[in-house]
Chains A and B, each alone.
Chain A
Amino acid sequence: MSLKTNWRYLLQIFLSFFKIGPVTFGGGYAMIPMIEREVVQKRKWVKTKEVSEIFAIAESVPGAIAINSATFIGYRLAGVKGAIIAMTGVLLPTFLIVVALSILFLFIKDNPFVESAFVGIRAAIVALIAFAAYKIGLTAIYDKTTLVITILTAAILYFLHIHPVLIIVGGIGLGIAVVNVKKLLGYATRLDRNDK
């Protein structure tokens, strides 16, 4: 591949992901069908089977799923350069929009109408977070152990104020330990909800 077409290819990757960002409100999961349409159906860069594998991994590693998927696809298409370009493409529009909204918010937040609107919005944000807990709970809680871990985590955070980062890191070790201890005791653990 000549240097010139290489740059054109990178630009195409950048633009594909740049387009996806600004139209997907409501978090990363909203971007998944958009990414699929762009890279599978339109560009034919990746096959459907591969892209679902990419989404599965994007979900398992730390970070936002949309950004992770873009980075992963970028890497598959054009190596490290592709990964960086795709990540920048997906991040840049939302970055600019959020900065614009932050500036706007600083200007209007003392307006009495905005103040009263935000009193109501804060209650809705609690509902949004509670709903996120409900949705992830559907896949996370399916036996006694996972139920106990969930309740303990919320209680420990509320009463003991341990840093959440420690709790998350602890969660990795705890998961591995619990599965192995149960195995030693002769119990099988279903590793996710759909395991038979």
Chain B
Amino acid sequence: MTEPSLYDEILDYANRANPWPLYEKLRSQPVWQEADGTFVVSTYREVLALQHDPRLSSDPSNLLPEFAAMRPPAEAGGGATGFIRTDPPRHDVLRRIAMRQFGPPHRPDYVDSFVPAMQGIVGKLVDKLADKQEADVVDDVAYPLPVAVICRMLGVPPEDEPTFSAWVEPIVNSLGNPTPEQLKERGDAVQAMANYMFELAQRRRAEPGDDMISGYVQDDGPDGRLEGADLFGTLVLLLIAGHETTVNLITNGWLTLQRHPDVLQRLRTEPDFSIRLVEELLRYEPPVHILPFRTATDDIELGGATIRKGHPISVMLASGNHDSTCIPHADRFDPDRRDNVHLSFASGVHYCFGAPLARLEAQLALTELARRLDNPRLLADPPPYRPSPVLRGPVHLPIAYDGVSPA
């Protein structure tokens, strides 16, 4: 039997709580080829360069036939995947149409206009902690917040939110190494969600509101309209991506704060502190660790190796963030860090669509928790982690506290 490779060890659940020493070893060779043909890119400069390289493809159809089994599962019923698994120019068109309802240049203040609403949601979630002494940061705050926000933005009626959460669960559970049953449940959930979205889109077409779905079915930009599979693919993508990662950002963030009580204390008292704090949290404990399923349209010379055309590539974002050859004292958690150029939302044309939302949600949630929880403490360190090595974060984060201050 062969030794497990470093990359295998990273994927191994046993190392989920602390992958950092493994990443450090991985970086001794910036580009590494696995026995199965996958290339693993782990150093800051190479990770950054690769994402600006027009030979890097996100479209799985560019994988050589022998790697077909490694293709990611299709996201929605019709095989639509939204824009994340497409390349320019199609990527750019789909993303531009999606952006038209979400942000600049067409709708510059849409996200900003949600800040009061987000604040309200966070406040209510923390209020609910008042009648108990223990809570789960995941179930009680980190998870419900982004779901509520993305539902409001898209235009999902609040009464349907619970149904939604039920569909999202199996999708989340299937990340990592899913069993065949989990995959089936995932497929069913995606299908149900697509059906729901179809009906919702019909309703919004008849009775449009200010929300994004109404925009998608009503408003034509220069690039035209999202239709059929493109529409559902995009909606399912926004919904899932819209909170999957934010849960980890908030949870990892709270865990890190509990491990650094002095920083937690500053967050209670310094008004603007959450802004830089969240950037450093993004760098130090990023919600997305790996961009898998990339491939190359041609051979790429990188970091002293040649990535072969058509081979799978895993881009190690979290490892890049801790590369001390480019980032001073990378393993130090330092919210006063200047010029924090982390890779956590990726880079280049696939830069995270929802990044502004994730930032605001984390800033608001962490500040509110810090300000209002009296003497919070971890009940488990490390907490239990979710299975996925790609979207890494605790599955639960149980804490105890002495009380909750009024808002």
Are chains A and B native binding partners rather than an unrelated pairing?
no
User: Which residues from chain B sit less than 8 Å from chain A, CB to CB?
Assistant: none
User: Which residues from chain A sit less than 8 Å from chain B, CB to CB?
Assistant: none
